[in-house]
Amino acid sequence: MPTNNVLPPPLPDWFPRGAALLRDPTLNKGTAFTPAEREALGLRGLLPPQVGTQDLQANRVLENIRRLQTPLSKYILLEALQDRNEALFFRVITDNPDEMMPIIYTPTVGLACQQFGHIYRRPRGMYITANDRGQIAHVMRNWPYRQARMIVVTDGERILGLGDLGANGMGIPIGKLSLYTACAGLHPRYCLPVMLDVGTNNQALLEDPLYIGIRQQRLSGAALDEIVEEFVTAAQQVFPGIVVQFEDFANHNAFRLLRKYRDRVCCFNDDIQGTASVTVAGIFSALRVTKKRMAEQTFLCLGAGEAATGICDLLSAAMVADGLTPDEARARCWMVDSKGLVVANRTDLAEHKKAYAHPHEPAADFLGAVRALKPTAIIGVGATPGLFTREVIEEMTRLNERPIVFALSNPTSKSECTAAQAYEWSGGKALFASGSPFLPVDFAGKHFVPRQGNNSYIFPGVGLGVVSVRSTRVTDEMFMAAARTLAEHTSDADLAQGSLYPPLNGVRAVSAHIAAAVAEIAYRDGYATLERPDDLLEFMRAQMYDPRYTSYV
């Protein structure tokens, strides 16, 4: 595995020279090419004469970003930087994660996807369309980096909480894979974003002259399955052993596709499994404050889709590990959907909801469900903003000395409540986490620092571990190991200020530990195909891409 942005000297014959080198974002160093490199690589006269360092270049980028007024304009600037100099892009991100990650991913990526056709500048990733049926393997062979190891693929039907954005959803695979590199050091050449463009039912996009996708109604049912089957098969043919991460597929497809492929190829769904893992990690941290056991908790999810189901599945597993039977554990997990509390006598339930449809009287709204079930934790993943009302938070505080309140929907416009509301309405007692970032809150003489229950704490480390040992599967046990590892890295000082997760500026170190924990499961269960290294943690650290420049000559 390459460990930095270049191959060491002597350079291979294929290495580009001159203007071609400056146009290759995986190799370009811009004004940081030294005089010797400029002479050897045919760059004399093609760059300004002043040689700069990467630190100087990074300062220039930061100066320009901070001059801009809107998150979208900052996103566009960073996207342009990634298109011309990946090492510098990742250096800026890894050195400034708290400032940059909300720009390259949530919440800004949602707006970027909505505007994707209008801000489009340069192709990144692969667009595989319904018109490519029968030729998908041929199309995928056009990807220039044969060492690809990780695909993030979406069909754009359920982008964040924004719905069907069609081919505009490509911003999600691009952003996710940027986080793989920034947060866990997965080499950029290992990362392949894929848009499976099967149409869109978003009429506004179909009528938008700048829309970048095919202009047809979205395929569904057997027609969609045919495309996905050919894609999964082609991906393994062209890039044997590649990991496939399904991202932002609609509920009715996400569960089905995960069940279909998880035992055939190395794949997972981050909306289901990654969201569950980061949520459970936050619950583990919160329970260190409440001093309560996992088996004593009652969880109520606002939302009953991919995220809620994945969360309840992993929470149930955690409660089983704490002594409950599977039935007892599931009975402590509840959901509220658009029609009220999910209960056993409802006849309108999708298959994935039935495991958490328990015998109970109906509750028409979320507040009614809170009053009836008396949960210890509420978890918002329904993308319906504002439903953690003052009445809900006050009732949770009446029921619990330290109520657990996770408003995880994103982008920010979809959040169930803000951090300030959670602290104010609970009298400063809430143990709060969010899906999008919120600024620190000063309330009643205390300084709270809420942190995101962001999947970027989980999936990059899981991916690094799976790729590094060439695991043939990704399992739920790996996501549980990731959750426990993340929680272990939340310090007592973090908890004292209301933070249920460690700071983002330490995410690469945490990802190395998560990768080692995931690899441990892969070796234990017989999925790893590389010989086991003596020290898994050091091995993972050695695999991580370093965005700092090295010499070409």
Strand 191-197 and strand 150-154: pairing? parallel
Q: Kindly state the tokens that stand for 149.
A: 């190891």
In a 3-state reduction of DSSP, which class is residue 378? strand
Q: Are 205 and 214 in contact (CB under 8 A)?
A: no
Q: How crowded is residue 414: how many other Cβ atoms within 10 Å of its Cβ?
A: 23
Q: Of 29, 74, 75, 176, which is the active-site residue?
A: 176
Say which residue the tokens 């143990």 belong to.
431
Q: Of 29, 74, 75, 105, which is the active-site residue?
A: 105
Say which residue the tokens 């060491």 belong to.
8
Residue 36 burial (10 A CB sphere; 0-12, 13-18, 19+): exposed
SS3 letters for 191-220?
A: EEEEEEECCCCCHHHHCCCCCCCCCCCCCC
Distance CA 488, CA 494 (A): 11
Distance CA 550, CA 553 (A): 9
Cα four-point dihedral sign 184, 185, 191, 197 = positive
Taken as a whole, the chain contains a residue count of: 553
SS3 letters for 76-98?
A: HHHHHHHHHCHHHHHHHHHHCHH
In Å, how far are 122, 135, 230, 306, 498 from 227, measured between CA atoms?
A: 26, 10, 5, 22, 46
Q: Are 401 and 321 in contact (CB under 8 A)?
A: no
Q: What are phi and psi of 155, to 5 degrees?
A: -105, 5
Is residue 105 part of the annotated active site? The answer reads yes
**Both ends of the chain: CA-CA distance in Å?**
21
Residue 237 one-letter amino acid: Q
- Strands, E, within 362-456: which ranges? 377-380, 404-407, 431-434, 441-443, 446-448, 451-452
Distance CA 257, CA 274 (A): 16
- What are the residue ranges of helices labelled H in 304-347? 306-321, 326-330
Say which residue the tokens 């930095």 belong to.
4
Q: Are 417 and 386 in contact (CB under 8 A)?
A: yes
The C-alpha torsion from 30 through 35 and 37 to 41, rounded to 10°, is 90
Strand 404-407 and strand 377-380: pairing? parallel
Say which residue the tokens 């460990």 belong to.
3
Is residue 176 part of the annotated active site? The answer reads yes
Q: Active-site residue numbers?
A: 105, 176
